[in-house]
Amino acid sequence: MVRSINLIFILAILILSCQQKDERPNIILIMADDIGISDIGCYGGEIETPNIDQLANEGLRFITFYNMAKCNPTRSSLLTGLYTGGQGAVHLANLTKQAGYFNIMSGKEHFDSWVPDYCKAENAFDHSFYFWATTEYFLPPSGKFTRPFFLEGKQIGADEIEYNKTPMYKTDFITDYALKWLDEAFENEDPFFLYLPYHAAHYPLQARPEDIEKYRGKYLRGWDKIRQERFKRMLELGVLPEGARLSPPESNLNKFRGPLIPSYTDYYPWETLSESQKDSLDLEMAVFAAIIDRMDQNIGRVLSKLERSGKLENTLIMFLVDNGSCPFYANKIPDVQPGPANSYWSLRTSWANLSNTPYRQYKQCGHEGGSHTPFIAYWPKKITPGSITHQPGHVVDIAPTFLDLLNISYPDSIHGYQTLPLHGSSLLPVFSGDKREEPEYFISGMKRFRMFRSGDYKIVRLNGGDWELYDMKNDPTELKDLSSELPEKVKELSDEYHRIYNDFDKEKTLPE
């Protein structure tokens, strides 16, 4: 009798354990590249993004969410939960692996030098397909991509890349690998973590002809008028902070980089252009829109697979962008218009200014145009559909959120190093519709373009110049610099910023 009771007790524990295991959500983290906040349909853009919009309409949109304003620092901070670090950093996939997840990555990997080797894709994920920094979308006429691709840590040639649609196109085959490994994930009883960092819509501007055709002629109205239209829609959608105003057109004032063509002019009123100029510029933006459209189509492929497999309902999906739109106009092959495999064109400042509506400045900058990302969280039955939050967040908050989701403790050590303490805090209260305690500060921007925000005030500099000061509660588009009126506030924030970075240096540890 006692033995029977013990067996029943053990069975009950096993059943309960399985139920708890099944309740753990799958996690998908999708990152886009060099896309402004207003490019996405659910944030006011005219580009067709029905799948991303579905995630927003059935999930949560953040009005204010910060990245690190450039590819590599954003990825470094996103995947480790650190503004800066070193040995002792913990990759998100280390956390999910600790919790028994099946881990997949397909897409762009680009880290700062401080990120340890053990955080590289082949060391963190069960399956990985990745490339480093910029590569073309189509296979170039030379038959070789500018930079190599890696499969499970091994460099592979273009002829070894698996793809389902001809001609091969990077956004599509990134998704092909993810879908292939999701099949393997579905066969396992364990939940999965998929990291899907697309390269869209980073230059070069190359897109499938059928995608370009959808947008050809839609930008002949010009950047001035379309920017006003986007701003109006953003207000109607409620995706702007209170008091937001449309900033005036702004040139690319980055003296450390670009424009890369000396004769290039940053901004000019659309109506001053000739019809042939307008047609060429319409094509440029149409290709950019087509790249985003193709990414959304591929996100739709992932959603469809999850739905068909019955996995969608228990999956948390997060979507964001690594930085604002990029203004560093260049055209390496002047005789070829943007779009095909033999082109190498990048977006110009005036279109990037449209992408970042209504904010100021661009990629690399701590001003909101560079550091502000759309952030969407979708989680059926956990997140209220169609919700919008005014609570600010940052990419360093993702790692603490994972800890809460996984219900695990942060490890004390990793690969022989004492772990570095995380710099953010969990977003789960926001996902639940509650108010979280706002972090003491947010940091973004490259060193010469740094921003530091604490409470309602933010300091930011441009081109290594003096700190500017903005009241983000009353002036979220940074139109009035208060530094000359409130010098004591500038000093207070700059002193705090330097103190924090000194503390970061002290946190870096030696082997145990």
State residue 508's pLDDT score.
Answer: 65
Q: Which structure tokens are listed for 89?
A: 């950093």
Q: Residue 459 and residue 215: Cα distance in Å, rounded?
A: 39
Q: What is the 3-state secondary structure (H, E, C) of 220-260?
A: CCCHHHHHHHHHHHHHHHCCCCCCCCCCCCCCCCCCCCCCC
State residue 498's pLDDT score.
Answer: 95
3-state secondary structure of 101: coil
The sign of the torsion formed by the CA atoms of 231, 234, 240, 242 equals positive
CA atoms within 13 A on the CB side of 352: 30
3-state secondary structure of 219: coil
Contact between 226 and 354 under an 8 Å Cβ cutoff? The reply is: yes
Contact between 43 and 358 under an 8 Å Cβ cutoff? The reply is: no
Q: Which structure tokens are listed for 490?
A: 């500038």
Q: State pLDDT tens for residues 448-471.
A: 999 999 999 999 999 999 999 999
pTM as predicted = 0.94
Give 378's strand partners: 317
State residue 331's pLDDT score.
Answer: 87
Q: State pLDDT tens for residues 170-221.
A: 999 999 999 999 999 999 888 999 999 999 999 999 999 999 999 999 999 9
State residue 383's pLDDT score.
Answer: 98
Q: Residue 168 and residue 56: Cα distance in Å, rounded?
A: 30
Could you say which architecture CATH assigns to the domain 24-435? 3-Layer(aba) Sandwich (3.40)
User: What residues contact residue 167 under an 8 Å CB cut-off, 6+ apart?
Assistant: 138, 139, 341
State residue 257's pLDDT score.
Answer: 79
List % helix, strand, coil for the chain (3-state, nearest 5).
40, 15, 45
CA dihedral 168, 169, 175, 178 (to 10 degrees): 50
Q: Tell me, what amino acid is at 156?
A: I
Q: State pLDDT tens for residues 152-171.
A: 999 999 999 999 999 999 99
What secondary structure letter does DSSP report for 437?
A: P
Burial of 165 (0-12, 13-18, 19+ CB in 10 A): exposed
Give the number of other Cβ atoms within 10 Å of residue 416's Cβ. 11
Closest CA to 200 of 66, 304, 327, 108: 108
Longest Cα separation, the chain: 93
Spans of the chain below 50 pLDDT? 1-21, 509-512
3-state secondary structure of 439: coil
3-state secondary structure of 161: coil
Give 194's strand partners: 28, 104
Closest CA to 36 of 347, 310, 258: 347
- Locate all alpha helices (DSSP H) within 253-397, ordered by sequence: 275-309, 349-355, 368-371
CA dihedral 353, 359, 360, 363 (to 10 degrees): -70
3-state secondary structure of 464: coil
What is the percent of the chain with per-residue pLDDT over 90, rounded to a whole number? 86
For the chain, first and last CA: distance in Å? 52
User: What residues contact residue 78 under an 8 Å CB cut-off, 6+ apart?
Assistant: 29, 31, 67, 92, 395, 396, 398
Determine which helix (DSSP H) or strand (DSSP E) holds 376, and give its type and residue range.
strand 375-378
Give 29's strand partners: 195, 318
Instruction: Parse the chain into domains and list their residue ranges.
Output: 24-435
Give 169's strand partners: 138
State residue 263's pLDDT score.
Answer: 67
Nearest 5°: phi and psi at 44? Answer: 115, -5
Q: Which residues of 44-74 are buried (b: 16+ CB within 10 A; e: fewer)?
A: bbbbbbebbbbbbebbbbbbbbbbbbbbbbb
- Locate all alpha helices (DSSP H) within 409-480, ordered by sequence: 428-431
Q: To which residue do tokens 């490994």 refer?
A: 181
